[in-house]
Amino acid sequence: MQLLSLATYHEGRRRNEGKEGTRSDPSMSSPPLVVVVLLLLLVTTALARCLLLVEAYQYNASSGPLVTSVIVFGDSIVDPGNNNGLPTLIKANHPPYGKDFINHQPTGRYSNGLIPTDLIAQGLGVKQLLPGYVGVDLSPEDLLTGVSFASGATGFDPLTPVVVSVISLEQQLLYFDEYRRRLVDIAGEEETEKIIGGALFVVCAGTDDVANTYFTTPFRSVAYDIPSYVELLVSGAEAFLRNVSARGASKVGFVGMPPVGCVPSQRTLGGGPGRDCEPERNRAAQLYNARAQEMIAGLNAEPGFPTLVVFLDIYRILDDLMERGDRYGFTETTRGCCGTGTIEVTGLCDSRFVSVCDHVDHYVFFDSYHPTERAYRIIVNDIFDNYIQDLL
């Protein structure tokens, strides 16, 4: 409202000065003092925030990257293309995926452009893109600065990757062991220990367990209720974090679950004719996040546990994007940009069969499951604002 008042003041002044022989109204000679003060406060706050963001996010050539490397395990949110060569339908190496990526190339990233781990690597000054590990010809520099072992549609439930023939988290750890040996060949044992010890590790999984294995297939829901299934996932997550810690990780960002029931495909599958948010999926996500935070607190308090694990809450920011998207400039929050936006994902989101929206930046989701690059940027900015200082 203060900005509106100042604009009104200037417009009134222009009108008065434009009238021949009319002297300006003394009351319009200067803006109210309270408006000036409020504007100065707004500008000062915005400038301070910008300076903080620059300091936290951007690469400083004199000080170098904020971590030695970025090493990632998880699912499609952080998979840059490791599924491309697998005998699975869970792939994103075809248009329209990558439509806003470099040269409009579909790399296997499940979005129109960059994914969170690219943005994290950029923000920490490590590199512009975080590559996949599987089936990729990696340069020594790529290896030295980190990779992603993530595989779309995997999870902490050992059944989840089996159902869709993707890379299990256990196999991702074996790939890491291979990766470490390659680091030793390049840089030697001592330097390898420094690289791994100074790396930011990111673990992002669990959503596919809930959305796909529990609610879409009958394999788990007949034997587990939601609380007991969440315990299965949290137990798997703890075992995985212990394995990552044993491999030399000093700091791990552990990504929580989003509001699974409000994802477009889950609205379609469980939200009834109105495609409402499905409450049971969201209840599972909330319970998982609460239990995961308790588990992480226990690990961090455990004598002799050498790794700091930080829980990265994405439920809150994604819920805000979906419920109050207009605040961020989004006009569509319940459908994806690809096809009808209600069910199309991976093989169903294919330019040979479906079209895409005209204004992807107006959409929170690119397909019916994965956010757009613009939404990812907002999510990663929130992570940097709230958590990254604890991981440096």
What's the whole-model pTM score? 0.84
Quick one: pLDDT at residue 32?
58
Q: Please report whether residue 3 resides in a domain.
A: no
Residue 238 identity: E
Q: Is residue 45 part of a domain?
A: no
Tally Cβ neighbours within 10 Å of residue 58. 12
CB neighbours of residue 283 within 10 Å: 15
117 contact partners, CB below 8 Å, separation of at least 6: 70, 72, 78, 80, 130, 148, 150, 202
Which among 205, 200, 98 has a CA at the least distance from the CA of 152? 205
242 closest CA partner among 173, 188, 194: 173
Length of the chain: 392
- Looking at the domain assignment, is residue 44 inside a domain? no
Tens digit of pLDDT at every position of the chain (392 positions)? 333 333 333 344 344 444 444 434 444 444 555 444 445 554 444 444 444 344 444 444 446 899 999 999 999 999 999 999 999 999 999 999 999 999 999 999 999 999 999 999 999 999 999 999 999 999 999 999 999 999 999 999 999 999 999 999 999 999 999 999 999 999 999 999 999 999 999 999 999 999 999 999 999 999 999 999 999 999 999 999 999 999 999 999 999 999 999 999 999 999 999 999 999 999 999 999 999 999 999 999 999 999 999 999 999 999 999 999 999 999 999 999 999 999 999 999 999 999 999 999 999 999 999 999 999 999 999 999 999 999 99
Count structural domains, the chain.
Answer: 1
Domain holding 258, by residue range, is: 64-390
Instruction: Count the neighbouring beta carbons within 10 Å of the beta carbon of residue 166.
Output: 27
- SS3 of 272, please? coil
Distance CA 226, CA 232 (A): 10
Q: Which residue has tokens 């792939």? A: 91
Helices (H), the chain: 2-18, 33-57, 116-123, 140-144, 159-164, 169-187, 189-197, 207-208, 226-246, 264-270, 279-301, 315-323, 373-386
Whether 364 maps to a domain, the answer reads yes
Which residues participate in catalysis according to the annotation?
76, 367, 370
**CATH code for the domain in which residue 159 is found:** 3.40.50.1110
Does some domain include residue 39? no
